[in-house]
């Protein structure tokens, strides 16, 4: 019997609410599938920052490196600037473990109403492969002449051949596995250096995947088309910034931020991957007990899938889809119900 070691960082706001609620359920799913896991909890985040001036300890990455996987709730606090929380915890983990694939499925589940008229169950089903270690989120730049009229800020985007090739290849592999097609999102009309380079890489890698049809879209058109014709998308690949923005669109058209899962994946086992709901710390609903735990449950499903524990992954994913399809099941207010976080998890446990 395999026993995995999983680091759990609940983080801020509703992060601990959804993470703690889901843990007994995911332990059930593991037991049912014949394996177990130990969790080690790290209370890193904004409380620690307010107390000691750091989001995580200096040796934080070292302490995480031995784990099979990492689960994170959310970070972000109304009293601390978001760049401090993001750069203090989330980005160092993504970059430090070279988690270059940010994988974000967007599925319109049965029983969920899309804000898009005429869209029903299964009509939207695509996955975004977002580059997760460089691009527009590279720490390249600076701020000079603070406070003067000639104050200047420079923020450069970094696109390496290795970094671009590997995310593009991962997306092609996913498209080939789904027997689907790939949409590469750029802005190569305006950004004629980095994005034309991206297009060139896509063209090169495409020769390895003759079965995969490739579409190219500019990011503004992609934002529009995700609303106009979301049923036509299958796998999208995009830079760090573009992928970030488009997946928020994806979460909305498939019903709620509370349903969107994600993985920050380093594909081989040399360092751990990290799974997390797409949503943030939701300060507007914190403490009310109504945060939707399903994005967290689906993210655990992705974590188990990555570990090769397909049975537990499927059980969690199916549990969520069955619950959503059931009109009588409890649901949280973000998807039209009146139930609390715990009711939703209790119902899911009874379904496993």
Number of residues that bind ligand NAI (CB under 6 A): 22
Q: Quick check: 244 binds Mg ion (CB under 5 A)?
A: yes
Taking CB atoms, the residue at the shortest distance from Mg ion is: 244
Least Å distance, CB 253 to ligand NAI, is 14
Measured CA to CA, the distance from residue 3 to residue 26 in angstroms comes to 14
Q: 199-238 mask for Mg ion (x: CB under 5 A)?
A: ----------------------------------------
Would you give the binding string for ligand NAI spanning residues 276-295, x where CB under 6 A is met?
x--xxxxxxx-----xx--x
Residue (136 or 244) nearer to Mg ion, CB: 244
Which residue, 186 or 264, is less far from ligand NAI as judged by CB? 264
> In whole angstroms, how close is the CB of 187 to ligand NAI at the nearest point?
22
Name the residue nearer to ligand NAI (CB basis): 182 or 291: 291
Give the β-pairing of 181-186 and 152-158. unpaired
Six-digit token string for 65: 């490196």
Q: Please, what is the minimum distance in Å from the beta carbon of residue 101 to Mg ion? A: 16
Q: How far is the CB of 212 from Mg ion (least distance, A)?
A: 27
Residue 102 near residue 130 (C-beta atoms within 8 A)? yes
- Looking at residues 306 to 335 of the shown chain, list those that interact with ligand NAI (rule: CB under 6 A): 332, 334
Q: Which is nearer to ligand NAI, 21 or 201 (CB)?
A: 21
Catalytically annotated residues: 137, 187, 220, 244, 248
201 binds, among ligand NAI, Mg ion, none (CB under 5 to 8 A by kind): none
Burial zone of 231 (CB within 10 Å; 0-12 exposed, 13-18 middle, 19+ buried)? middle
Instruction: Tell me whether residue 12 or residue 244 sits nearer to Mg ion (CB atom).
Output: 244
185 or 285, CB closer to ligand NAI? 285
With CB cut-offs between 5 and 8 Å by kind, which of ligand NAI, Mg ion, none does residue 244 bind?
Answer: Mg ion
Three-state SS string across the chain, please? CCEEEEEEEEECCHHHHHHHHHHHHHHHHHHHCCCEEEEEECCCCHHHHHHHCCCCCCCHHHHHHCCCEEEEEECCECCECHHHHHHHHHHHHHHHCCCCEEEEEEECCCCCCCCCCCCCCCCCEEEEEEECCCEEEEEEEEEECCCCCCCEEEEEEECCHHHHHHHHHHHHHHHHHCCCEEEEEECCCCCCCHHHHHHHHHHHHHCCCCCCEEEEEEHHHHHHHHHHCHHHCCEEEECHHHHHHHHHHHHHHCCCHHHCEEEEECCCCCCCEEEEECCCCCCCCCCCCCCCCHHHHHHHHHHHHHCCCHHHHHHHHHHHHHHHHCCCCCCCHHHCCCCCHHHHHHHHHHHC
Pick one of Mg ion, ligand NAI, none as the site partner of residue 106 (Cβ within 5 to 8 A by kind).
none
Residue 131 CB, shortest distance to ligand NAI, in Å, is 16
Q: How far is the C-alpha of 190 from the C-alpha of 192, rounded, in Å?
A: 6
- Considering only residues 61, 223, 257, 346, which one is a binding residue for ligand NAI as defined by CB under 6 A? 257
74-103: contacts with ligand NAI (CB under 6 A)? 74-76, 82, 90
Partner that binds at residue 99, options Mg ion, ligand NAI, none, CB closer than 5 to 8 Å by kind:
none
The least distance separating Mg ion from the CB of residue 272, rounded to whole angstroms, comes to 21
Query: In the complex, which residues of this chain contact Mg ion (CB under 5 A)?
Result: 244
Query: In the complex, which residues of this chain contact ligand NAI (CB under 6 A)?
Result: 14, 18, 74-76, 82, 90, 257-258, 276, 279-285, 291-292, 295, 332, 334
């Amino acid at each position: 019997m395999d026993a995995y070691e999983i680091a759990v960082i609940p983080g801020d706001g509703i992060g601990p609410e959804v993470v703690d609620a889901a843990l007994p359920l995911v332990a059930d799913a593991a037991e049912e599938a014949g394996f177990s896991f130990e969790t080690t909890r790290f209370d890193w985040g904004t409380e620690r920052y307010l107390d000691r001036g750091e989001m995580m300890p200096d040796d934080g990455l070292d302490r995480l490196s031995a784990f099979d996987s990492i689960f994170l709730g959310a970070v972000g606090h109304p009293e601390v600037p978001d760049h401090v929380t993001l750069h203090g915890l989330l980005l160092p983990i993504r970059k430090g473990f070279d988690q270059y694939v940010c994988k974000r499925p967007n599925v319109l589940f049965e029983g969920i109403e899309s804000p898009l008229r005429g869209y029903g169950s299964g009509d939207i089903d695509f996955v975004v492969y977002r580059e997760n270690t460089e691009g527009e989120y590279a720490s390249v730049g600076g701020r000079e002449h603070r406070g003067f009229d000639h104050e200047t800020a420079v923020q450069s985007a970094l696109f390496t051949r290795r970094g671009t090739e590997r995310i593009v290849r991962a997306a092609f592999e996913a498209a080939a596995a789904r027997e689907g097609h790939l949409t590469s999102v750029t802005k190569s009309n305006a950004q004629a250096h980095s994005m034309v380079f991206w297009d060139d890489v896509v063209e090169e890698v495409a020769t390895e995947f003759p079965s995969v049809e490739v579409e190219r879209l500019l990011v503004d058109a992609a934002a529009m088309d995700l609303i106009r014709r979301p049923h036509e998308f299958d796998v999208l690949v995009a830079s760090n910034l573009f992928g970030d923005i488009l997946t928020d669109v994806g979460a909305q058209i498939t019903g709620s931020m509370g349903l969107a899962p994600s993985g920050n994946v380093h594909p081989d086992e040399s360092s751990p991957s990290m799974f997390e709901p797409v949503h943030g710390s939701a300060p507007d609903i914190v403490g009310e007990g109504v945060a939707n735990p399903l994005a967290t449950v689906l993210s655990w499903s992705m974590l188990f899938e990555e570990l090769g524990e397909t049975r537990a992954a499927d059980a969690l994913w199916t549990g969520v889809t069955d619950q959503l399809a059931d009109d009588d099941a409890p649901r949280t207010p973000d998807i039209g119900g009146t139930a609390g976080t715990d009711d939703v998890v209790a119902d899911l446990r009874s379904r496993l």
